[in-house]
Amino acid sequence: MDASALLGLLARSLAGIDADMAMPSRLCRACVEILGAQSGALTVRATPEDRVTVSSSDGMSAEIENLEELLGEGPGQLALDEDRIVVTELDGGSPTDAKFPVFSHLVASLSGPATAYAVPMRVGGRPIGVLSLYVTSGGLARDAEDVQFLADAVGTALLGEIESIDWSARSRIHQATGMVTAQLHISPRDALTVLRAHAFADSATLEDVAQDVLARRIAFTDDETDAVTTERTEEP
């Protein structure tokens, strides 16, 4: 399908979605509809190792994005890192993917059998985020070229909505990362890994753990063996 026809589809799909919804949510739903997926999400790059979910079409896609954020691995992160479409099966019966082994082991419990498509959204030739799509049977309704064109168009549209994106959660995570960096005398990347590991161990979200660190309910220390310990202070 040529570019003008795809843009026409996008315009018609957006026109049929509640105009009171935030534009990122409308764009996400339009992509799911046009591409014949059952679920989807839009994420934008905050740092080289970090993405922010700006919209998810339902609870399943939101949980999968949360899992990727928690683990720091998955098809979305790989699509952004390598600037290519990543396709993977989300099925507990499938072999563990060596490129994101923990994610592929855990994700089937969230989604059930499905195929995940992670498509980099490019603006000016550079990936600025990822369109993630989940299909429970068959494949997408469009070929890879059309999917990439639509993802790039949506990425460009998202840049125009950048001021409407809520960055507060990401700001709290960055602040908490800075505190753990100071507490353990490690690099920010390693501090973020510590936060992720703690969240995973507690079955919590990264944002929840960051909030506890900022509220000083959680502090990290190390001993003479360089083992990291956690001190938790309960609120009165």
| Each residue's pLDDT tens digit, 133-180 | 999 888 999 999 999 999 999 999 988 776 666 667 777 888 888 898
Looking at the predicted structure, is the pLDDT value of residue 204 above 80?
yes
- Identify whether residues 38 and 61 lie together within a single domain: yes
The per-residue pLDDT for 38 is: 94
Q: Which of 59-63, 92-96, 110-114 has the highest mean pLDDT?
A: 59-63
Distance (Å, rounded) from C-alpha 161 to C-alpha 22? 9
How large is the average pLDDT for residues 29-46? 94
CATH (domain of 137): 3.30.450.40
**Rounded distance, CA 179 to CA 191, Å?**
9
**Could you tell me if 145 and 108 lie in one domain?**
yes
DSSP state of 138: S
Helix segments in the chain, DSSP class H: 3-15, 23-34, 59-71, 75-82, 101-106, 108-111, 144-159, 168-184, 188-201, 206-214
Residue 2: pLDDT band (50, 70, 90) is: confident
Percent of the chain residues topping a pLDDT of 90: 44
CATH code: domain of residue 193: 1.10.10.10
d(CA 191, CA 157): 33
Range of the domain at 216: 168-232
Judge if 225 and 135 occupy the same domain. Answer: no
The total domain count for the chain is 2
Cβ contacts of residue 177 below 8 Å, gap of 6+?
188, 191, 192, 195, 210
Average pLDDT of the chain? 86
Last residue of a domain, one of 136, 164, 192: 164
Nearest-angstrom CA–CA distance, 99 and 103: 9
Cα 114 from Cα 101, distance rounded (Å): 17
pLDDT band at 131 (very low <50, low <70, confident <90, very high): very high
Taking the C-alpha atoms of residue 152 and residue 130, their distance in angstroms, rounded to an integer, is 9
Q: What is the mean pLDDT of residues 54-77?
A: 91
